[in-house]
Amino acid sequence: MTRRVIFNKKGGVGKTTIACNLAAISAQSGKKTLVIDMDPQGNASRYLMNEQYEAAREQKKTIYDYFKASLDAGSAFVFNPFFPRSDRNENDLGDYFHETAYKNLWMIPSHPALVEIETQLASKHKIYKLREALDAMKGVDAVFIDTPPALNFFSQSALIAASRCLIPFDCDAFSREAIYDVGQHIGDIQSDHNRDLHVEGIVVNQFMSRAKHPREIVESLKADGLPILSTRLSSSVKIRESHQSAKPMIFLDPKHKLTCEFLDLYREIESKNKKRKA
């Protein structure tokens, strides 16, 4: 099972768009694919589940409910130390899976209330909870984890749970500054929590090939030795339609230029990983 996190502490760089579109391609290629939305904004949940997202929140089947249950199970243990741990299956994420409209594509949606339990989760040492849940999970070929634009409990949990990381980058000057912090943060996670975490690369998004400034920024990052992937994602208004209609690009418009770029990106990271394993 591949476990990929899409992370950048900067907002609006394309994390959700890239996570959901790559996951859709993975599902379409026949892999049983799961998207986990760790961002309280819930954009990935809305993108892939549309109206079903509200229902999932009402059914209490979101990643918030999973974490909340782990806090409640912890307090049951405190009040009844004789309650056998093995009788509790608190790592099972299966109860929180939702089908999407697309074959092979499942989702564990987010919830805005995640922010309310963040401090409690951190103080109760739940940072490994997601990793333990993925370790126990069966029957899934690929996991994509979308993260919030912050270095917080949820993005850390995701970086600890994953074995691969993609970093979207949108070619502006603030993003350039942020990318060095992101590298530092990932380095800390690797040395303190997750030696298996491999940075697959930086994805250049909304690239304007004819403009001089973005080209220069990308070249300067390359010169600094940063792992820039060769596929560039161009900017397209079609993405707005894709979000609004809750249809990832591969289903909305399989022949579109941006769809082809997502396919190229998917092939590039998959073939790099094959080479790494060989």
Angle (CA) 265-267-269 rounded to 5° is 70
Q: Please give the angle made by the CA atoms of 259, 263 and 265, to the nearest 5 degrees.
A: 115
**Does residue 39 contact residue 6 with C-beta atoms inside 8 Å?**
no
Interface of this chain with ligand ATP, residues 41 to 80, rule: CB under 6 A:
41, 43
Residue 124 interaction partner, one of ligand ATP, Mg ion, none, beta carbon < 5-8 Å per kind: none
Partner touching 11 among Mg ion, ligand ATP, none, CB below 5 to 8 Å by kind: ligand ATP
Q: How far is the CB of 147 from ligand ATP (least distance, A)?
A: 8
Candidates 26-34, 64-72, 111-119, 230-238: pick the segment binding ligand ATP (CB under 6 A): 230-238
Q: Which residues of 61-93 are buried (b: 16+ CB within 10 A; e: fewer)?
A: bbbbbbbbbbeeeeeeeeeeeeeeeeeeebbeb
16 binds Mg ion (CB under 5 A): yes
User: Cα–Cα distance between 184 and 175 in angstroms, integer?
Assistant: 14
| Nearest CB to Mg ion, comparing residues 43 and 231 | 43
Range 112-141, binding ligand ATP (CB under 6 A): none
Interface with ligand ATP includes 37 (CB under 6 A)?
Answer: no
Q: How far is CA 259 from the centre of its chain?
A: 19
Q: Which partner, ligand ATP, Mg ion, none, binds residue 120 by CB below 5 to 8 Å per kind? A: none
Interface region with ligand ATP, contact rule CB under 6 A, candidates 13-21, 28-36, 50-58, 67-75: 13-21
The dihedral built from the CA positions of residue 252, 253, 258 and 260, taken in this order, carries a sign that is positive
Q: Which of 201, 172, 195 is nearest to 7 (CA)?
A: 201
Query: Considering the rule CB under 6 A, would residue 155 count as an interface residue with ligand ATP?
Result: no
Which residues form the interface with ligand ATP (CB under 6 A)? Answer: 11-17, 39, 41, 43, 149, 205-206, 233, 235-236, 239-240, 243
